[in-house]
Structure 1
Amino acid sequence: MDVLVPFAAGEPKTRLANVLEPNERAEFARAMLRDVCTAIDEAKASPTVLSTAHIDSEWPVIVDDQPLTIAVNDRLDPPIAVVMADLALATPDALSRLFESEGLVVIAPGLGGGTNALVVRHPDFYTDYHGASVTDHRRIASEIGAETETVDSFRLAVDIDEPDDLAELLLHGTGEASEWLRSAGFELSVTDGRVTVQRRTR
């Protein structure tokens, strides 16, 4: 299966600005991208990076600086999947479940109401990534009469956007992105019973 992997190359992961410098955010985002594309490869699918600017990559890259929804819809040629580049916990097994699900529209929801991954087999489906996109995508599928299937997967539900998400990556990640965090001095911290992260002073 062909898989689009949208990637914001210009100024990635701005919501991590209070814990990472701009150059660190760029390095970290690319480490997550490589983890995601490697997992897609190992799930026997074919990733193409849909990047807002040129990047060096061992996988094919399409450059498109249009907003996410437009850039994806311009290339939504079923059967096709869309997997976000910050799903650093994604595994080949979790992605295989997604790709092998039989619905005309298959959705892997994010924890905050977003759509972290999609499989599209219906020619009239289109994406809308604004706001609580998972509800929008279910509505769009219903309007075109497309059967919708939901993949319930912790590995695909956690996207790494906020500082608190880094704890999930340190707890459960096994790829390059989690190793990058550790090498940058991040470690787990338990405060008032809640697991967070802290950064060692260099």
Structure 2
Amino acid sequence: MRVVVPFGGREPKTRLAPFFDADERRDFAVSMLRDVLDAVRAAGGDPAVVADAPVSVEAPVAVDDRPLTEVVGDELDELDEFGGDPVAVVMADLALATPAALARLFETDADVVAAPGLGGGTNALVVRHPEFSVDYHGASILDHRRIARDAGCSFAEVDSMRLAVDVDEPSDLVEVLVHGEGRAREWLVDAGVRLERGTGRVAAVRERR
């Protein structure tokens, strides 16, 4: 399955500025991207990165700095050119993604299959119907349900914690430290990020070295 992995590499993860400087944020973002590419390949997908700035990874990279909706829309316009094969879209910051979680996404039978993100986003899609289009503004999972319905597409959602967590906020680092299995978790540990356990929720803190 052809899998498009959008990557924002120009100014990645600005909301993590309380923890990391600009160079560190890019390094961390690339480590998550590499984890996602590994998981996609292990699940049987053929990944290609679409980035807003050059990035060196073990996958084809196309540089395109247009908004995400336009970039993914163009990829879906090529559905027919690939013999009707489905196109998947998997975000580059799904640091908890595993081959098993992605295989379930890829194998679910519907015209459009979505993995909702926490907060109303759409973290991954599989599209098999050429009439479906994307809209990544706001609560995109609601828009994608509506678009699929209006286009006459069958629509299924994959309920997966590992695909629901996209790493944007400092609080998301807790999930990577607790559940992560790849480069992103190792990067955080090497950077001095650890769990702080108090009487309430666990937090991520950084020990400056």
What TM-score does the superposition give when structure 2 sets the normalisation length? 0.95
Counterpart code for 2:117: G
Give the length in aligned residue pairs: 202
Structure 1 equivalent of residue 63 of structure 2: 63
Tell me the secondary structure at the aligned position of residue 197 of structure 2. Answer: strand
Structure 1 equivalent of residue 28 of structure 2: 28
From 125, 138, 146, the equivalent of 1:131 is: 138
Structure 2 equivalent of residue 102 of structure 1: 109
* 1: CA distance, partners of 2:114 / 2:32: 21
Deviation at 1:58, TM superposition (A): 1.1
1:81 equivalent in alignment to 2:88: yes
Structure 1: give runs of 5+ residues left out of the alignment: none
Q: Structure 1 stretch 73-82 or stretch 90-99: which is displaced more?
A: 73-82
1:36-185 matches, within 5 Å, as 36-76=36-76, 77-78=78-79, 79-185=86-192
Tell me the secondary structure at the aligned position of residue 75 of structure 1. Answer: helix
What TM-score does the superposition give when structure 1 sets the normalisation length? 0.98
Structure 2: give runs of 5+ residues left out of the alignment: 80-85
Structure 2 equivalent of residue 18 of structure 1: 18
Deviation at 1:155, TM superposition (A): 0.4
Deviation at 1:191, TM superposition (A): 2.8
* 2: CA distance, partners of 1:170 / 1:148: 33
Q: Percent identity?
A: 59
Deviation at 1:21, TM superposition (A): 0.4
Q: Deviations over 1:105-164 (max 9, x none)?
A: 001000110000000001011110000000000000000000000100000000100000
